[in-house]
Chains A and B, each alone.
Chain A
C-alpha cells in the first residue's frame, strides 16, 4: 500500500505533474532535433537543477529521458536523420514509409508502439528490481569491481570499432574520477599540490564538456544539411494495424528490456537487435524490409523505449549504469544525495516507487504529446543550427558555472569539450569516459576491499573468483570481450568478413 502512495506522488502533486509533462515535452523535441542528444540535455539539466528538491529535479529529468528516446524516431522517419542513436534502426523503414506519403501513419504507429514498449519496460522494472536488489546484497566487492569493468569494456567494444579506443576512453574516465583526495586514505592523487583539485574534477563539467560543447563543435561540420519538409496527414494509427502488430511489439519490448538491463548495452543496440529479430520472424512481409515495412518500424521503436525501463534495473539496484545516459543519470542521483545500489530499495523504497510512477506518467505524456502538436513540431525542428548551436554553447558554459559558482569548472568543461571534439573526430567513443568517471570510485573502492579481504594477496583473489558462480560468470564475460579482439579470433573471422565485400 505504501508503494502505491509513493508511486502516485508525482500524479497527485500539480507541481511534479507539471514538471514531468514539461520534461517529456522538452525531451521529445530535444530527442528529435538532430545534434541535440538526451545525454547532452540531461547533463546540462543536472547543473541547473542540483539546488532543487530531489523530486522536482527527477521528474524533469525522467521526463526528458523518456521523451528523448521516443523523440529520436520523429526525425528518423521524416528526414532519415536519427535524432538519437537509438533511432538508427527506425530510419531504415520509417523513412521509406514517409517517402510513400505515409509519414503521419508511421509517426502514429511508432508513438503507440513506443508507449507499449515503455510500459513493458516499466512493468519489468517494477517486478524485477526488488528481486535483483535482494540478490545484489549477496554481491562481493570483487563482483562490483568486475561489474564496473564489464560495463566500461562493453560500452567501449560496442560503441563502434576499436576496442583499444574504447578501453583508452574508459581508463581515461576512471583516471579522471580518481583525481583529488583519496576517500579511503586522504592521500592526494594527481592534485599537483593544488588545493582546488582536492575535491576532484567535477563530473558534471566533464559530462557537459564531452556531450555539450564537444558534440556541438562537431556539429559545426554539418551546418549545411537542409531540413526537408514532409506532408503529414493522418496520425492516429489504424486499430487493425495495432492488433496485428501487438505480438511483435511485445516480443521486441521484452528483448529491449533484457538488452537494456545488461550493463553496457542501451537503447541503440536493443533497437538494432529487435529490427534483426523482426526481419527473422516475419516470413512474408507485405513490403520488403528497408522499403517501408511496418514491422521494421515497430520492432525497434518498442525495443528502445522498453530498454529505458531495463536500463533502470542495474542503475537503481547495483548503481551500475548501462550506457552514457544512465551514467549521467547516476551522476544526478549522487548529486542529490541518493546512493543508487542494493540498499536503495530497502533504505529508500519511496525513491524507487516514485521513479516507477514517474516513468509511467512520463510514458503517458509521450502518448499525448506524440499524437498531438505535429504542426508546432515541424516548426521547432526547422530551427536552424546557426541559432541552436550558439545557444548550446551558452547553456553549457552557464551550466558548468552554476554547479559551484566557479570559473574553474568552466575551464575543465572547455578542456573536456575540446578533447571530446578531437576524440569524436578520430573515432574514439566518448561514452566510456563518462561511464569511467561515474564508476571510478565504486570500482576503486571495491577493488581495494576485495584485495584487503584477501590480505593483499593476488593469488587467493583469483582463486576465490572461481568459488562463486557469479564471480566466475563475470570474470569469463570480461575475458571473452578481450578474447574476441585478439588476433586469434579476428584472423579466423576476418577473412570470412572480407570475402563478403567486393
Chain B
C-alpha cells in the first residue's frame, strides 16, 4: 500500500468526474419536486445528492492539495494493460451472451481469459476451460435450474438426446 497522502495518476480526474456527476444528480433530484416540501419524493434524493456534492468537492480539493506520487504511470499502476484488456473482453462477452448463447460465448471467454492470465499451452487451457464450463453448466443450469441464454446452440435437443441414451 502506498501512503494515503499521495495523489495517484488519474485520481484528480476521477475526483473531478465525481463532482460533475454529483452536480448532475443534484440537478436531477431538484427536478423531481423542487423545494416544494420537506417530505416530497424529491427531498431525500436531494439530501443524498447534496451530501455527494459536498463530499466530492471536499475530496477534490484534498486531492488537488496532495503531492503527486512520483514514478507512477496511469497505464502501469492504475489501469495496467491486462486490466483494460480483461474489461474489454468482459464487455464483448456481455454483448454476445444474449445473441450467441451461454455455452459458446462462455467457453470462448474462459479460454481467452485463462490463456491470458494463466499462460500455459493452448491445449491445457482448452481442456481446463471445457471442464470448468461443464461443471458450471451442470451446477447452475441443471442443479440450480438457472435460465441461461440459449443462443444458437440447441441445448434442449442435445440434453434430450443425452437423456434418451439412458432411458
- Determine how close the nearest CB of chain A comes to the CB of B89; give it in whole angstroms: 9
Give the residues in chain A near B42, CB-CB below 8 Å: 187, 189
Given A165-B59, A390-B114, answer yes or no on A418-B94 (Cβ-Cβ < 8 Å): no
- Interface membership of B134, Cβ < 8 A: no
CA distance A405 to B150 in the complex (A): 12
- Interface membership of A393, Cβ < 8 A: yes
Q: Indicate if the CB atoms of A171 and B62 lie closer than 8 Å.
A: no
- Interface membership of B152, Cβ < 8 A: no
Given A51-B145, A164-B55, answer yes or no on A384-B118 (Cβ-Cβ < 8 Å): yes
Q: Which 9 A-B pairs have the closest CB atoms?
A: A386-B118, A390-B113, A386-B117, A171-B51, A182-B41, A168-B55, A444-B44, A187-B41, A174-B48
- Interface membership of A197, Cβ < 8 A: no
Give the residues in chain A near B126, CB-CB below 8 Å: none
Chain B stretch 1-54: residues in CB contact (< 8 A) with chain A: 4, 8, 10-11, 14-15, 18, 25, 28-29, 32-33, 37-45, 47-49, 51-52, 54
- Interface membership of A270, Cβ < 8 A: no
Given A217-B87, A223-B117, answer yes or no on A171-B59 (Cβ-Cβ < 8 Å): no
- Determine how close the nearest CB of chain A comes to the CB of B87; give it in whole angstroms: 7
Give the residues in chain A near B113, CB-CB below 8 Å: 389-390, 393
Number of A-B residue pairs, CB cutoff 8 Å, is 163
Q: Indicate if the CB atoms of A414 and B90 lie closer than 8 Å.
A: yes
Give the residues in chain A near B83, CB-CB below 8 Å: 217, 220-221, 421
- Interface membership of A451, Cβ < 8 A: yes
CA distance A174 to B50 in the complex (A): 12
- Interface membership of B86, Cβ < 8 A: yes
Given A167-B51, A171-B55, A213-B90, answer yes or no on A448-B43 (Cβ-Cβ < 8 Å): yes
- Interface membership of B140, Cβ < 8 A: yes
Question: How many chain B residues touch A (Cβ–Cβ < 8 Å)?
Answer: 63
**Quick one: which of B38, B41, B52, B119 contacts A185, CB cutoff 8 A?**
B41
Q: Indicate if the CB atoms of A452 and B39 lie closer than 8 Å.
A: yes
Could you give, for residues 426-446 of chain A, a 1 whenever the CB lies within 8 Å of some chain B CB and a 0 otherwise?
110000000010001001100
**Quick one: which of B14, B58, B102, B132 contacts A398, CB cutoff 8 A?**
B102
Give the residues in chain A near B97, CB-CB below 8 Å: 397, 401, 407, 410
- Interface membership of B80, Cβ < 8 A: yes
- Interface membership of A198, Cβ < 8 A: no
CA distance A489 to B69 in the complex (A): 28
Q: Indicate if the CB atoms of B55 and A397 lie closer than 8 Å.
A: no
- Interface membership of A395, Cβ < 8 A: yes
Considering the complex, give the chain B residue whose CB is closest to the CB of A389.
B117
Q: Indicate if the CB atoms of B48 and A448 lie closer than 8 Å.
A: no
Q: Indicate if the CB atoms of B114 and A168 lie closer than 8 Å.
A: no
Given A386-B117, A397-B97, A398-B146, answer yes or no on A451-B52 (Cβ-Cβ < 8 Å): no
- Determine how close the nearest CB of chain B comes to the CB of A85; give it in whole angstroms: 14
Given A161-B4, A165-B55, A414-B91, answer yes or no on A386-B136 (Cβ-Cβ < 8 Å): no
> Which residues of A line the B interface, CB within 8 A?
48-49, 51, 161-162, 164-165, 167-168, 170-172, 174-175, 178, 182, 184-185, 187-190, 213, 217, 220-221, 223, 384-387, 389-391, 393-395, 397-398, 401-402, 405, 407, 410-411, 414, 418, 421-422, 425-427, 436, 440, 443-444, 447-448, 451-452, 456-458
CA distance A315 to B8 in the complex (A): 37
Q: Indicate if the CB atoms of B90 and A398 lie closer than 8 Å.
A: no
Could you give, for residues 45-76 of chain B, a 1 whenever the CB lies within 8 Å of some chain A CB and a 0 otherwise?
10111011011101100100000000000000
Q: Indicate if the CB atoms of B44 and A178 lie closer than 8 Å.
A: yes
Give the residues in chain A near B56, CB-CB below 8 Å: 168
CA distance A190 to B83 in the complex (A): 31
Q: Indicate if the CB atoms of A175 and B48 lie closer than 8 Å.
A: yes
CA distance A425 to B84 in the complex (A): 14
- Interface membership of B166, Cβ < 8 A: no
Chain B stretch 140-157: residues in CB contact (< 8 A) with chain A: 140, 144-149
- Interface membership of B104, Cβ < 8 A: no
Given A187-B32, A220-B86, answer yes or no on A401-B148 (Cβ-Cβ < 8 Å): yes
Q: Indicate if the CB atoms of B87 and A48 lie closer than 8 Å.
A: no
Q: Indicate if the CB atoms of A407 and B52 lie closer than 8 Å.
A: no
- Determine how close the nearest CB of chain B comes to the CB of A354; give it in whole angstroms: 22
Give the residues in chain B near A387, CB-CB below 8 Å: 114, 117-118, 128, 132
Could you give, for residues 107-138 of chain B, a 1 whenever the CB lies within 8 Å of some chain A CB and a 0 otherwise?
00110011001110000000010001000100
Q: Indicate if the CB atoms of B52 and A168 lie closer than 8 Å.
A: yes
Give the residues in chain B near A458, CB-CB below 8 Å: 38
- Determine how close the nearest CB of chain B comes to the CB of A160; give it in whole angstroms: 8
Considering the complex, give the chain A residue whose CB is closest to the CB of B5.
A161
Given A390-B109, A458-B38, answer yes or no on A407-B45 (Cβ-Cβ < 8 Å): no
**Quick one: which of B33, B37, B52, B149 contacts A172, CB cutoff 8 A?**
B52
Q: Indicate if the CB atoms of A402 and B8 lie closer than 8 Å.
A: no
Give the residues in chain B near A456, CB-CB below 8 Å: 37-39
Considering the complex, give the chain B residue whose CB is closest to the CB of A177.
B48
Q: Indicate if the CB atoms of A426 and B14 lie closer than 8 Å.
A: yes
Most A Cβ at <10 Å: residue of B4, B55, B109: B55
**Quick one: which of B32, B52, B91 contacts A171, CB cutoff 8 A?**
B52
Q: Indicate if the CB atoms of A189 and B41 lie closer than 8 Å.
A: yes
Most B Cβ at <10 Å: residue of A165, A172, A175, A223: A175
Give the residues in chain A near B146, CB-CB below 8 Å: 48, 398, 402
